[in-house]
Amino acid sequence: MASYSAPLRDMQFVINELADLAGVARLPGYGEVTPELVETVLDAAGRFAAEMLAPLNAAGDRQGSKLGPDGAVTTPTGFKQAYARFTADGWNALALPAEHGGQGLPQLLSAPVVEMWQSANMAFALCPMLTQGAVEALVLYGSAALKKTYLPKMVAGEWTGTMNLTEPQAGSDLGQVRCRALREGDHYRLSGQKIFITYGEHDWTGNIMHLVLARVPDAPAGVKGISMFLVPKFLVNGDGTPGRRNDVYCTALEHKLGIHASPTAVLNYGDRDGAIGYLVGEENRGLEYMFVMMNLARFMVGVQGIGIAERAWQQALTFARERVQSADAAVRGGQPVTIIHHPDVRRMLMSMKARIEAMRALAYVVAAHLDKAAHHPDEQARAQAQAFVDLMIPVIKGCCTENAIDITSTGIQIHGGMGFIEETGAAQHFRDARISTIYEGTTGIQGKDLIGRKLARDRGMAARAVIAWMRALDAEFEQLQNADLQAIRTRLATGIDALETAVHWAVAHYASDVQAVSAGAVPLLRLFGIVAGGWQMARAALISQQRLNEGMGDAAFYKTKISTARYYADYELTQAAGLRESIVTGAAGVLAVNGDQF
């Protein structure tokens, strides 16, 4: 398997030129976030990812996590030691609140670091990603006592966190949750079963904090009757040390298509005397709180998609540069050449590269707006940033992960038959990526979220604001005239037109024909992602041309960026018109055949 090298140059370009690092650094509390600090952190993270995490990836996949007869889980060789180094070096606390022991750095810096972890070893990176979400929920909704007892150790990484949503009968429909919580003094006793709990049991830390959705006896039916509880694996003594074992046990590990090193646990609560849990926030508001965790998790899963796609792209590129097969099509009777000379292989490589760079740019721009939504001193600016984030989260989660599946599949295709053989490692990326469109809400759920909560609820106001922002870029093309930029300009304008038409149609018909709009929800999600990615690639091309005109920086990098943006315009943005037609007119074909006719 090819080694991993963090794409630092592209990351720094996006952070500084597209995602407005200077603007983020002006936010309260971020004054020390300079380009020099960013470069230092990214360099160190890149080395850790390449030297510590990436070498464990393939071996961890082969070995997997194992469940012992006593319910204990053993993770693959080297993972526990890597996590100890991970926390000792402070990586777990990077973007977590300073008041609880974190470093308090912005999401704009955290996102590329998370991308590196996901590229290097996706199965490893899942655990700290979920801990970060659990910390976020406790910071916002936990009592002072819960924060004091649990947050410092979770931020430091001494204890990890999980999300406990799914039950055998309750997947995406959390209104079907049956796990029970009985009041008992200052705590509750929980009973029930949760499945698909990532790192629900492991050997990395002395304690695990489970955030569990359950119902109190007199709770309303459906989603309005769900509460959130903190259930530690070991109860905590008055001095903060782990005490006796709580009544929560791992009874099985799922056998999965990918991410074999990550233990996905079945957890039983209350088989003995009831698992002691502590209410987070208020009763019957658990789903509201869980969505805080889930929103951040959905963004991070989108970044995960970028990371695993980048790893597949790097491996495919290395293989294409080394694999000798067939003569160059332009040289009659020539000798066999490396396959990177073949036009179709180059097309596939460009498809991978262009989409990764578009996804990365869009995700980091959203990360910067997460920082602005949380820290900007102006209330209106915070609200505008939050509206952009809310609109783009389902796009980031849905599109980056769907692209990841396609890109990792393309990586196998470039390898040819060798890609279908596990020893080359290309297949693992595809297998690992496949879960990303499912957990934290399937792509269909992201599409439903986009058309319902994000478009219909505000009559498309946030979407129209983003479309206007996209259109404002057109004026910048007037100052820079060349064939590539003008082609990008034309394709982007056509894509924006298609997006605007589709958004207008969805908003206009949601109330009167929700089924028709729902039939086009995922195509609309995809259209939004393609056009938003094209918008960022167009910005990147304009800035690159300006830098070339100024004679600044790495000319080869800027020329390649323009060429990549041109490819994206020619091959990705040109899909926009077809998607618009599917969204606006395609519902009849989706709904014409009823369930009995399939």
Count of C-beta atoms within a 10 Å radius of residue 598 = 5
Q: Report the alpha-carbon distance of residue 565 to residue 354 in Å, rounded.
A: 7
Distances (CA, A) of 101 to 30, 84, 123, 476: 16, 17, 26, 44
User: Amino acid letter at 224?
Assistant: K
Q: Report the alpha-carbon distance of residue 86 to residue 128 in Å, rounded.
A: 10
Q: Which of 535, 517, 484 is nearest to 583 (CA)?
A: 517
Q: Report the alpha-carbon distance of residue 152 to residue 159 in Å, rounded.
A: 9
Q: Report the alpha-carbon distance of residue 172 to residue 170 in Å, rounded.
A: 6
Can you say how many angstroms the Cα of residue 159 is from the centroid of all Cα atoms in its chain? 23
Q: Report the alpha-carbon distance of residue 317 to residue 340 in Å, rounded.
A: 8
For residue 314, the SS3 value is helix
Query: Which residues neighbour 83 within 8 Å (Cβ) at sequence distance 6 or greater?
Result: 124, 127, 157, 204, 205
Count of C-beta atoms within a 10 Å radius of residue 596 = 5
Instruction: Tell me the CB-side half-sphere exposure of residue 266, using CA atoms within 13 A.
Output: 9
* Phi and psi angles of residue 220, each rounded to the nearest 5 degrees, phi first: -60, 160
Q: Report the alpha-carbon distance of residue 298 to residue 401 in Å, rounded.
A: 10
Radius of gyration for the alpha carbons in the chain, expressed in angstroms and rounded: 24
327, containing H or E segment? strand 324-327
Q: Retrieve residue 181's tokens.
A: 């919580």
Q: List the beta bridge partners of residue 595.
A: none
Count of C-beta atoms within a 10 Å radius of residue 191 = 19
Q: Retrieve residue 289's tokens.
A: 């709180």
User: Amino acid letter at 317?
Assistant: L
Q: Report the alpha-carbon distance of residue 375 to residue 265 in Å, rounded.
A: 37
Q: Which of 4, 53, 27 is nearest to 109 (CA)?
A: 27
Q: Retrieve residue 65's tokens.
A: 């996590």
E-assigned strand segments in 149-287:
159-164, 180-184, 187-198, 207-214, 227-232, 234-236, 242-245, 248-253, 264-269, 275-280
DSSP class per residue in 486-504: HHHHHHHHHHHHHHHHHHH
Q: Report the alpha-carbon distance of residue 18 to residue 352 in Å, rounded.
A: 20
E-assigned strand segments in 112-186:
159-164, 180-184
Count of C-beta atoms within a 10 Å radius of residue 26 = 15
Catalytic residue among 115, 201, 310, 440: 440
- The yes-or-no answer on residue 440 being catalytic is yes
Q: Retrieve residue 477's tokens.
A: 């093309």
Residue in the block written with tokens 């693992």: 428
Whether the Cβ atoms of residue 401 and residue 437 lie closer than 8 Å to each other: yes
For residue 572, the SS3 value is coil
Active site residues: 440
